[in-house]
Amino acid sequence: MSDNSNSFVRHEMLSERAPPIGERGVLKWARENLFSSVFNTIMTIASVWVIYSIAVGAAPWFFNGVWNAKTTRECYEILDGVNGACFAVLQERFPQLIYGFKYPSTEYWRPNLATILLLVALAPVLFRRLPKGLLGFSVIYPFLAYWLIWGGTILIPTVAFVGCCIGVACYRKFSSGAFVTAIILGLFSAYLCWFLGGYLISWNNDFLSLKEVPSRDMGGFMLNLLLGTIAVSLSIPLGITLALGRQSNMPIIKWICVVFIEFIRGVPLITLLFVANVILAFFFPPETSIDLILRVIIMMTFFNSAYIAEVVRGGLAALPSGQYEAANSLGLDYSQSMRFIILPQALKISIPGIVNVSVGMLKDTTLVSIISMFDLVGMIRGPILSSTDWNGVYWELFGAAAAIFFVVCFTVSKYSQWLERQLETGKH
């Protein structure tokens, strides 16, 4: 009885100990990820060798690079037969790469300032911890940026802004009643304001006026950023609306959304851009000339919003129906349950998809080079490479373009990952 080998009593609790050296830190990581099997070890060594050869091959080209020269010929003379890059083109043509070749160089400060202010305006939208008061600036920013980039009298954006404010105020005032009446009244009052404002502008055309820069003079990376930012920021609300419309119980709204989404998704972006460039002009009266940039922005917004609508629809479908039921059972109406319950969760699920589509859109802005707009790629392919001075400097120029886009897109992607972590609430 007494020597029952199954019985055991611990009298002293064991204290915590560190794992063995091979089981922690770098050693553990390397063993698990690089040398976990014979095959893995061979692959690791092969990869290191490949990376090493590329680095060794590219390093002289990179480090021998010439930064000061006027032409390709001068570059080769300086290099004197040594393998090296001709980065001088980036320096000499820097303004063209960034602003295009027609934007007046005395006015470069304007797009620069607009870009800095863009970051300020985006900050409260992207980071919820910042004080809500800053959002006021985000609302004003589009109008301010228009004035800075395109110039002209400040009255134009001011009138546009005041018109929008009056329209929204009118809508708010009547929105407790009939929805459609409120929208029509809002639009009408805004239009009235713009109409009257038009007289004010034509009467005082020089009030606080910046030098006017027409749209066809925009170019370089500025154009990419301009198109990308506007198209993405307009297409997110439009995409959400389309996604909700597609779920609507009202057949007409539903079918309008379905047809729009399916049509736009079924057509290549480049086709839409040609439509914007050539065909769209036929549909407007002959004397009106809708700006080419505006037409391109409209097409890009449509294209991106169709994709975002499908991403958001995925997010909406991923929500359990219990969320809709709980919101309904508490007496929340449609717009309240969408705003507070459904969309915050659906959009959180959709973040990776929305960012994916939007980063793609930002890069696709380079397609405008095909409809003879001189964006970053258009500048490289057109004025720079075809000039006699910089004939044949492909690697440096396209490498620089790739680097610029990579920095922007990678930042956006990192932000979205951070945002996803911020919105995570379910973990213990």
Partner 1 sequence: MTDKLKLEVSDEIAIQIQSMNKWFGSFHVLRDIDLTVNRGERIVVCGPSGSGKSTLIRCVNALEEHQTGQIIVDGTELTSDIKNIDRIRSEVGMCFQHFNLFPHLSILENCTLAPIWVRKIPKKEAEETAMHFLEKVKIPEQADKYPGQLSGGQQQRVAIARSLCMRPRIMLFDEPTSALDPEMIKEVLDTMIELAEDGMTMICVTHEMGFARQVANRVIFMDEGQIVEQNEPEQFFNNPQSDRTKLFLSQILGH
Binding site for partner 1 (CB under 8 A): 320, 322-323, 325-333, 336, 340-341, 344-345, 348, 423, 425-428
Q: Pick between residue 44 and residue 323 the one whose CB is nearest to partner 1.
A: 323
Pure H helices in 34-134:
38-63, 72-79, 88-92, 94-99, 109-126
Least CB distance to partner 1 at residue 178 (A): 14
CB of 333 to partner 1, least distance (A): 6
To the nearest whole angstrom, how small is the minimum distance from the Cβ of residue 332 to partner 1?
A: 6
**Which of 206, 333 has the CB closer to partner 1?**
333
Q: Rank residues 11 and 428 by Cβ distance to partner 1 and give the closer one.
A: 428
For residues 344 and 359, give the distance between their C-alpha atoms in angstroms, rounded to a whole number.
21
Report in angstroms how near the CB of residue 347 gets to partner 1 at its nearest: 10
Of the candidates 291, 158, 276, 285, the residue with the CA atom closest to the CA atom of residue 213: 291
Closest by Cα among 138, 143, 147, 136 to 211: 147
Q: What is the CA radius of gyration of the chain?
A: 29
| Contact partners, residue 205, CB within 8 Å, separation at least 6 | 153
CB closer to partner 1, 22 vs 320: 320
Residue 341 CB, nearest approach to partner 1 (Å): 6
Closer of 183 and 332 to partner 1 (Cβ)? 332
Q: How far is the CB of 328 from partner 1 (least distance, A)?
A: 6
CA distances from 38 to 31, 35, 392 (A): 11, 7, 46
Of 10 and 427, which has the nearer Cβ to partner 1? 427
Side-chain-facing half-sphere of 168: CA atoms under 13 Å: 7
| CB closer to partner 1, 66 vs 341 | 341
How far apart are CB 334 and partner 1 at their closest, in Å? 9
Phi, psi (degrees; rounded to nearest 5) at 210? -95, 160
CA-to-CA distance for 155 and 160, rounded, in angstroms?
A: 8
What counts of helices (H) and strands (E) characterise the chain?
A: 19, 2
We find the least distance from the C-beta atom of residue 170 to partner 1, in angstroms, to be 23
Whose tokens are 């506007």? That residue is: 230
CA–CA distance, 402 with 249 (Å, rounded to integer): 46
Residue among 328 and 372 whose Cβ is closer to partner 1:
328
> What's the token pair of residue 69?
């020269």
